[in-house]
Amino acid sequence: MSKQKKTKEKSNSLRNYLFMLGFICKHTPFYLFGYLVFDVLANIPWILTNVVLLKYIIDVVTSGVDLYRAAVACVAFAVFIIIGNLLNTVFYEIYLPKEREKLYFKMYSVIYEKAAKMDYEAYDNPAYYNDLVLAMTSMSERAQQVMSNTKDILTNIVSVLTIGTVIVTIDPMCLVFVFLCVAFMVPVGRLIAKVNVQRTEAMTPYDRKNLYFSRVFYLQDYAKELRLSRAGTMIERRYQKNIHDRLATISPYLAKQWKLYFCQESMPLTLLIYLGITLFMGYKAIVTKEISMGDFAATFNGATAISNSVFAITSWFAISFRENGLYVEKFKRFMNAKEKIIGGDNKTVHKKPVTIRFENVSFTYPGTDKAVLKNINLEIKPYQKIALVGYNGAGKTTLTNLLLRLYDVTEGRITVDGVDIREWDIPTYHRNFAAVFQDFSLFGATVGENVAMNDHPDAEKVKKALASGNFQKDLPEDTNTILLREFDESGLSLSGGEAQKVAIARAFYKDCPFAVLDEPSANLDPVAEYTLNQAMTKAAENKTVIFISHRLSTTVMADCIYMLENGEIVETGTHEQLMQQNGKYAYMFNLQADKYKEQN
């Protein structure tokens, strides 16, 4: 690595540390102040005890002066230590836990808000998604480590300055030994940090594999396959191989590190501090009588403490300094990510359906070259029920994602009542639409909150919406029944079909003119599907409805059907018209009908 690159990396790490400390100070200033100041102040009496107090006691005892003075000094130091410990304990045991919770709350509030604001497109970007996962899973820990490192560095710097001042007053020559020790330890410490970083980078692929193995065995997604097959044995063997590979990879780095640690810690401390200062100051104390035995003990302890502080700063702290800096860099990158989909000033909320038009719309996903939609032109009239059909990958869901402005068109435009949807304020625009997605989610909340998608549901309105979705399950607490067990052990678990009906009810609860239903009956049997279709048709009389379905029995009720293939509309018409054309739609419909007959 070039010198210029190293300098830039150190500068970035420092800026990242200052960024995180600034973030903590902004949101929980007392936490940062107390964490740094209380601990440093509490350590000063301990630092001085090993040097100043020890020197004083030895000098008093060896001089034959009244031991009362030594006792008074011990009591005075004990009082200082007790007061320091009292302040430290009160902060660490009472205030720190509360302040830490406040920090975590602020940090995750900022992360959640940022994640909710970012474009849906951002989830297609692996770099953004990795930064998001890292922010969600480890930034609270990293913030704590940044503060802990900063505190330890300050404590050691205070220790070096305090003890160094005392040593200078005794014999400045002692600092020569210390400087020689430091001069040897610093470059070796840099080598240790470099090897540790290399080791971390080399182990990252194996760490990532270990996380995958953990997910396989603790996530419910894999539970059925693991129990009904020998996949578990297969994964365990791969886990064992990964461990063997980890050991083979890490061994050379460990061999380098123990040698460097030995050179850094043992040789300079042994030769320059334990042996050098002992002989030098011992000679002056015993032979020439230039210093007292107290001075001898104080300089020996002080020099050892300074060397240990430098060792800590140049090895352990240097390693964590760079590592934490890299994590904070990813957090900054996540927080600084910019939205691409920008809203306009239009804040119209339509009370009734209006005309929607796709005008020469084409779309290509970011990072790809192949167009998913090509020159789409269609008009959806008020109150129409239209169906988008086609094979997987035809572009059906992409079309609705563009309408909902989860993505922006690559070419062309989409208008609502003649206004380009890019001119709308985005939250206001979304108020015009209700959507049920194929990969819908239920939340750990009440049935009513899941339907209303807020924490103030109208109970009667919720019941009406559930009825429109043909939800018939008895609920122990009516619409206040809790779903899932994340927040309540007695939470209700629904079948796939029941959960889908709750999701569908959302479209009928929301007062808006347009509803988008992506595979609304995917988890339902044919009888339940027919009943749901009838209920939805009746409940959606006052809405424009756009639905996607692979089951073409659902499309029979549509006013207009659009058959998509390779991103283009290839057929348009009612069910009867398309069947008469005997084209691709008719072929797909007849194929499904024949399969259904075979199954029955």
The whole-number average pLDDT for the span 498-510 is: 86
| Residue 464 reports pLDDT greater than 60 | yes
What are the residues whose beta carbons fall under 8 Å from the beta carbon of 156, sequence distance 6 or more? 309, 310, 312, 313, 317
What are the residues whose beta carbons fall under 8 Å from the beta carbon of 191, sequence distance 6 or more? 260
| Residue-wise pLDDT tens digits, 343-355 | 899 999 999 999 9
The whole-number average pLDDT for the span 494-507 is: 85
| Residue-wise pLDDT tens digits, 365-412 | 887 888 999 999 999 999 999 999 988 888 998 999 999 999 999 999
* Torsion of Cα atoms, 398 then 404 then 407 then 408, to 10°: 110
pLDDT at site 214? 80
Total length of the chain: 600
Helices 54-63 + 293-311 axis angle, to 10: 170
pLDDT at site 428? 93
The Cα 139–Cα 324 span in angstroms is: 10
The Cα 117–Cα 111 span in angstroms is: 10
Strands 544-548 and 385-389, bridge-based pairing? parallel
Query: Could you identify the residue written with the tokens 């990510």?
Result: 337
Among 118-122, 462-466, 545-549, top mean pLDDT goes to 462-466
The whole-number average pLDDT for the span 4-30 is: 77
pLDDT at site 263? 80
Read off the DSSP letter of residue 346. Answer: B
| Residue-wise pLDDT tens digits, 211-230 | 788 878 877 667 777 777 77
Percent of the chain exceeding pLDDT 70 equals 90
pLDDT at site 523? 61
Helices 96-117 + 29-48 axis angle, to 10: 140
| Residue-wise pLDDT tens digits, 260-312 | 888 876 777 777 777 787 788 788 888 888 888 888 888 888 777 777 777 67
pLDDT at site 84? 75
Among 124-133, 250-259, 415-424, top mean pLDDT goes to 415-424
The whole-number average pLDDT for the span 186-206 is: 78
Helices 293-311 + 174-218 axis angle, to 10: 40
| Residue 196 reports pLDDT greater than 90 | no
The whole-number average pLDDT for the span 86-103 is: 83
What are the residues whose beta carbons fall under 8 Å from the beta carbon of 560, sequence distance 6 or more? 384, 385, 386, 387, 572, 573, 574
- Which CA distances in Å does 465 have to 41, 306, 417? 63, 72, 27
| Residue 73 reports pLDDT greater than 50 | yes
The whole-number average pLDDT for the span 564-568 is: 93
| Residue-wise pLDDT tens digits, 421-441 | 999 999 999 999 988 887 788
pLDDT at site 565? 92
pLDDT at site 11? 64
600 pLDDT band, cuts 50/70/90, is very low
For the entire predicted model, the pTM comes to: 0.70
| Residue 5 reports pLDDT greater than 70 | no
pLDDT at site 533? 66
| Residue-wise pLDDT tens digits, 155-188 | 888 888 888 888 788 888 877 877 787 777 778 8
The whole-number average pLDDT for the span 505-513 is: 88
pLDDT at site 250? 92
What is the rounded average pLDDT for all residues in the chain? Answer: 82
pLDDT at site 67? 72
Helices and strands of the chain, counted as H and E runs: 21, 10
The whole-number average pLDDT for the span 539-548 is: 84
| Residue 451 reports pLDDT greater than 70 | yes
Percent of the chain exceeding pLDDT 90 equals 23
Instruction: Give the number of C-alpha atoms closer than 13 A to the C-alpha of residue 477, restricted to the C-beta side.
Output: 11
